[in-house]
Amino acid sequence: MSARGALFRTRGGLLVATTHALCTTLLREPRFGRDYDPWSDGGTGQAAVSFLWMDPPDHTRLRALVSRAFTPRMLERLRARIEAITAELIAALPEETDLVSGLAYPLPVMVISEMLGVPPEDHDRFRGWSEILARGLDPMLTEDHMSETGRAGREFRDYFRELAAIRRERPGEDLLSALTQVRELSEPELLATCVLLLVAGHETTVNLIANGVLNLARHGLLRHASERPKHVVEEVLRYDPPVHLTTRVALEDTELGGVPLPKGTEVMVLIGAANRDPAVFPDPDRFDVTREPSRHLAFGLGIHFCLGATLARMEGEIVLSALATAAPGLELADAAPPYKENVVLRGLATLPVRLRRG
């Protein structure tokens, strides 16, 4: 796609932006916005209204409210717990194992579940909902998949409606309790925020961890994950980002790269290509963990910059560093592991490895 130009139109008529400069413009400037929610319930009157899919002023109001409960102090308190969960999961792994099912999947779902105050016995239900709702981000969905996504969204909201009622009466130290105390949040907005936190706080981190292990093992660089974890995570986010594309809509008659865009024109923001733009990243196709942290777009930009970026980075650094320390001789058991079918989220279905513990 990059070879076809900075901005080109597909056979289906969709405009695609591939350069760092154009993608930055689309993500940052207020003349472009969002107008689609893939987690809506298909018109049953209980729409998700997630602020991820909103434009100001509603986006500004909701994000500010949620940010009150999603503070750096709360996240930093999680560090020791993330380290403990990581150590337990790695210790339980057999020498030959699938790192997706054994580590990359369970860790983030346990973390976000505990953050939200979900009882441990319900964590597996969360994983099922998360997989289905993440699939709902894919624009290539069949009608059956769309129906399944709507069903999962309704089940998830029903579950949290009951749990939120309990937390209002008996608040704890968890994120859901904090959100229930934000009186300006309506119930639909609260439930939609929980859906967003589950998927954004789980699926993308699964991909970050698995993509990180795959690329580190392929290039024989795993040891660097314990020596310079921040650099490693930033390079994984640039080189093989968990989210490869998103979209923006022109909110007014405007232009992009000299191309006129009537109001309502949708443009694909190809994050994967922007992160390999040679105008910004020297030798962009080289996986270089000594590269200084860069201006990658893995977490977006502007008002929709990922609210959970700090948590995702923390989890990635902790897990990759711990794995490099515990299994420095890790080898891939499959040189070309399979990917999940999702054109938006780039993640492995399985990652078979031999740990070769030190």
Q: Give every CB contact of residue 175 below 8 A, 6+ residues apart in sequence.
A: 69, 70, 74, 115, 116, 117, 197
85-118 pLDDT tens trace: 999 999 999 999 999 999 999 998 888 888 888 8
Highest mean pLDDT among 124-128, 141-145, 273-277: 273-277
Q: What is the pLDDT of residue 19?
A: 97
Q: For CA atoms 53, 57, 61, 63, give the dihedral sign.
A: positive
Going along the chain from its start, the domains and CATH numbers come out as: 2-354 (1.10.630.10)
345: which DSSP letter?
A: B
- Rounded to the nearest 5 degrees, what angle is found at the Cα of 215, between the Cα atoms of 213 and 219? 115
Residue pair 345/109 in contact by the 8 Å Cβ criterion: no
Strand partners, 98: 352
Q: What is the pLDDT of residue 341?
A: 83
Q: What is the pLDDT of residue 46?
A: 43
- The answer on pLDDT for 185 being more than 90 is no
| pTM of the full structure | 0.88
d(CA 283, CA 287): 9
d(CA 338, CA 295): 29
Percent of the chain residues topping a pLDDT of 70: 91
Percent of the chain residues topping a pLDDT of 90: 52
The bridge status of strand 246-250 relative to strand 266-269 is antiparallel
Weakest-pLDDT range from 37-46, 91-100, 237-246, 340-349: 37-46
Q: What is the pLDDT of residue 43?
A: 41
- The answer on pLDDT for 213 being more than 70 is yes
Could you tell me if residue 304 is left (phi over 0), alpha (psi between -120 and 50 degrees) or otherwise beta? alpha
What's the whole-number average pLDDT of the chain? Answer: 87
- The answer on pLDDT for 203 being more than 90 is no
Q: What is the pLDDT of residue 139?
A: 64
Q: What is the pLDDT of residue 69?
A: 59
d(CA 289, CA 51): 34
- Mean pLDDT calculated for residue range 248-264: 94
Nearest to residue 249, comparing CAs of 54, 42, 73? 54
Q: For CA atoms 155, 125, 108, 329, give the dihedral sign.
A: negative
pLDDT class for 221, splitting at 50, 70, 90? very high
- The answer on pLDDT for 61 being more than 90 is no
Q: What is the pLDDT of residue 47?
A: 45
- Mean pLDDT calculated for residue range 197-204: 77
